[in-house]
Each structure stands twice: as structure tokens, then as C-alpha cells.
């Protein structure tokens, strides 16, 4: 269990109340950049999976790459780790569209 420690102001004779949030709202941010400029930023609440990664690449990465480098895909490279959602076979959908 995580314990949160902190200082709390308390008046003499008053009961100390500490409020906690059980499930805080989570916001994830994906972004891209190059030596030329910063790219689009995509915010999302759900967990990242292969489908969402493909959606982000289609609507976040590719428009940025086309704006910065034109339509010549040999002028830029995408670098990522070996996370399973990055190595999914559904990524080929982008190439076919």
C-alpha cells in the first residue's frame, strides 16, 4: 500500500481530516519532434494498445512528418522501443491506407 506523508495545519481541538483520491484521472500524452520542429501532441485517457498506437501514428505522427519532411519517407525515422504494442503486426495497416 502506498502511504502519503505530509504536513497538515490543524487548529487545537479540531479533528484532522485528510482527503485522498482512490483513482485519480489519468491523462497520457504522446508527442513527436525532430531537429526541424516540434510535432503534434496527442492526449488520451485510455491505456495505450496497438490500435491506439496506429491511430496516433496516423493522425499525429504522419501529418507532422509530412509537414516537416514532405512525402519522402526516407528523410525521417521513427525510433521506439520493443514494447509489444510497437511491434504489433497491425501496424501494417498504416502502410496499406
Give the Cα separation of 51 and 90 in Å (integer). Answer: 8
Q: What is the pLDDT of residue 49?
A: 86
Establish if 88 belongs to a structural domain: yes
Overall domain count for the chain: 1
Domain of 55 in residue numbering reads as 47-96
At residue 95, does pLDDT exceed 60?
no
Percent residues over pLDDT 70 in the chain:
80
pLDDT tens column, 26-61 = 899 999 998 999 999 999 999 888 889 889 999 999
Establish if 87 belongs to a structural domain: yes
Establish if 7 belongs to a structural domain: no
Establish if 61 belongs to a structural domain: yes
Q: What is the pLDDT of residue 6?
A: 63
Establish if 69 belongs to a structural domain: yes
Establish if 90 belongs to a structural domain: yes
Establish if 85 belongs to a structural domain: yes
Amino acid at each position: 500500500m502506498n502511504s502519503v506523508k505530509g504536513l497538515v495545519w490543524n487548529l487545537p481541538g479540531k479533528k484532522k481530516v485528510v482527503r485522498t483520491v482512490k483513482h485519480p484521472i489519468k491523462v497520457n500524452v504522446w508527442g513527436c519532434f525532430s531537429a526541424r520542429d516540434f510535432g503534434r501532441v496527442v492526449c488520451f485517457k485510455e491505456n495505450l494498445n496497438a490500435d491506439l498506437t496506429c491511430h496516433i501514428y496516423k493522425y499525429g505522427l504522419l501529418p507532422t512528418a509530412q509537414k516537416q519532411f514532405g512525402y519522402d519517407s526516407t528523410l525521417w525515422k521513427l525510433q521506439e522501443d520493443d514494447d509489444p504494442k510497437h511491434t504489433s503486426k497491425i501496424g501494417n495497416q498504416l502502410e496499406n491506407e
